[in-house]
Structure 1
Amino acid sequence: MNESTVFIYENAIGKLIFKKDSPLWITDVDGISSVGIDIAASRSSGQIGSNITSQSVRPRSFTLDGAIFDPVSLGREKIISIMAPQTPSTLTIEQNGESWFLDVVPELTPEITPGVGVQYFQMRLYAEYPYWRTTASIAAQIAGLNALFEFPFFSGGSWWISKYSENYFSTIENKGNVPVEFRVSFTARAALENPELYHVDTGKRILIRKSMIAGERIVVSTIYGKKGVTCISPSGVITNGFKFLSIDSDLSMTLMPGNNLMRIDSINREGLGARIEAPEGVISGV
């Protein structure tokens, strides 16, 4: 964190912007760069050391210290109003040309010290999903129509607005340092059955055991708190499609740091389009 860092706290009540040379400023933070990890291990008689059996990352709890400058009364009122208890919020940090965010709730609402001209406050936030996600996103077309039209436009010779990709493999890069959850959309250009997304590197897959008609779309989410399957008919009717998810599908599938080789498949694969959407990167700390 440096003097140019901007903090944005936003929810359904309102929005607070903390930055230098403004009435609200974050002066110190504690707990935004590290995560706690619970490690379970087993050890047999006479063994030196132990064997790790499982690991899990704890939710993140961190403290923000800040200052309220003139007009103090207005700033104090806004902080108390917007940083309300039991109100789901988003905390975004902007620094060095990048933006990262956490979904949070107050664990301790602001404690504000009285003062003239300047008042100081401290609060603690809780993030059930502890990793920072970038506000930038990736959208990778594995198969389907890829946009080709761009400016500057040259009309001579042959050109295409879009072109159908028949490459059923695609490499997707995760620029962060931890696995990224994602959303995949299967679109039927023609009648097909059992659309599938397969992660070649990890061996995990998402398979939908369902016949699809032209114009139908199925969206599968592996995102924390939003995991599920949604079916969208050609006329726009939305239904829960979880019952079509095969028993060996893995909704914990993620994009690992670095390159990820993905493959799609179905019966009548030529009629299937697939698109993956995810944050451009997720990191353990900022």
Structure 2
Amino acid sequence: MNENTVFIYENSIGKLTFAYDSPLWITDVDGMSSVEIDIAENRSTMQIGASITGQSVRPRSFTIDGAIFDPIDTARKLVIAVLAPQIPSTLTVKQNGESWYLDVVPEKTPEITAGNGVQFFQTRLHAAYPYWRTTASLAQQVAGLVAMFKFPFNAAGRSFWLSQFSDSYFSTVENRGNVPVEFTVVFTARSALENPELYHVDTGKRILIRKSMTAGEKVIASTVYGQKGITCISAAGEITNGFKYLSIDSDLSMTLNPGENLLRIDAAANREGLGVRVEAPEGVVSGV
């Protein structure tokens, strides 16, 4: 591996850092940059070729080869302890000034060779969600008070906006990755309103909450793998499950496609009282 690449494996038991100048070093990873795709097809009589009816990306399994250096006894015990079976973990890769991570579990715990001075190991990890997500996050206000102030800034003799109210029905959010990314949308009522909605103009998918909201109330809708759902937070801070308010034509499989995404924000009554924020990783990629 590139000597500037750092791998970090972390869970509730502990943390392993694999770096060029550390007792742990990863020499090779098989399956880090590719994913496998299942393609469903239909063929009819007299048809040339076939028609693709669906595609799905398989979970990712990949093999890691590495080395353990002095102090071998301490490092070997730590590898065995942290790379334990059935423990949800995070694998982070840092390279070229960027950080990407996968949520993983061991598919095969480390097999370590005997030796003096250096020992070699091999393990296999499984990621149910196969795409690498950046550790950098995007939190963009798409309706309501939008932040305007940025550093660096020279205030000498100038007036400036800390924030500005946006009354536009449309806003653009950029996904810098090469695959669709799931996200969380936060609807905030600054005053009483009804039925907040986020509509993806390019795909025709929507998230519509059929609910009367009071000032200070929030509704959080998540399309993130393993976290899909609706959460209501009252002005007093009480948290409840709000799935019953999700309209039947809403789609929690909505994603932000690579590139620019045009979103429309609306409400059945008092749209001006609605604030909307979209939160997501800055990018998701199929391989690193």
Give the Cα–Cα distance (whole angstroms) in 2 for the partners of residues 2 and 158 of structure 1. 48
Please say which of residues 128-137 and 148-157 is displaced more in the overlay.
148-157
- Aligned-partner residue type, residue 286 of structure 2: S
Secondary structure, aligned partner of 1:75: helix
Q: Report the 3-state secondary structure (helix = DSSP H, G, I; strand = E; otherwise coil) of the residue aligned with 1:145.
A: strand
Q: Deviations over 1:99-123 (max 9, x none)?
A: 1100000000001111111100000
One-letter amino acid matched to 1:273: G
Q: How far apart in 2 are the matches of 1:89 and 1:115?
A: 28
Q: In structure 1, how many angstroms separate the alpha carbons of the residues matched to 2:205 and 2:160?
A: 38
Amino acid at match of 1:71: P
Asked whether 1:31 is paired with 2:35, we answer: no
Per the alignment, residue 237 of structure 2 pairs with: 236
SS in 2 for 1:278: strand
Q: Is the Cα contact below 8 Å between 1:169 and 1:261 reproduced in 2?
A: yes
CA displacement, residues 176-230 of structure 1 (integer Å, 9 cap, x when unaligned): 1000000000000000000000001111100000000000000000000000000
Query: Structure 1 residue 278 and structure 2 residue 283: aligned?
Result: no
1:80-116 Cα distance to aligned partner (Å, 9 max, x none) = 1111100000000011111110000000000111111
The correspondence of residues 189-204 of structure 1 with structure 2, limited to 5 A, is 189-204=190-205
* Equivalent runs, 1:1-286 vs 2, <5 Å: 1-150=1-150, 152=153, 154=155, 156=157, 158-266=159-267, 267-286=269-288
C-alpha contact (below 8 Å) 2:141/2:147 kept by paired residues = no
Structure 2 letter corresponding to 1:58: R
Residue 81 of structure 2 aligns to a residue whose secondary structure is helix
CA distance in 2, matches of 1:82, 1:202: 43
- AA aligned to 1:162 is S
Letter in 1 for 2:277: R
Deviations 1:29-49 (A, max 9, x none): 001111111111111123221
8 Å contact from structure 1 (residues 39, 54) kept in 2: yes
Structure 1: gaps (5+ residues):
none
8 A Cα contact 1:231 1:240, kept in partner: yes
Cα distance in 2 for partners of 1:155, 1:215 equals 36
Distance in 2, matches of 1:150 and 1:56, equals: 41
2: CA distance, partners of 1:90 / 1:196: 33
Residues 117-172 of structure 1 deviation map (CA, whole Å, 9 limit, x = unaligned): 11000000000000000111111111111233455462756444322221221111
Q: For residue 80 of structure 1, give the secondary structure of its aligned residue in structure 2.
A: helix
Single out whichever of 8-17 and 37-46 deviates more from structure 2: 37-46
CA distance in 2, matches of 1:45, 1:147: 59
Are the counterparts in 2 of residues 142 and 263 from structure 1 also a CA contact under 8 Å? no
8 Å contact kept, 1:69–1:119:
yes
- TM-score, normalised with respect to structure 1: 0.97
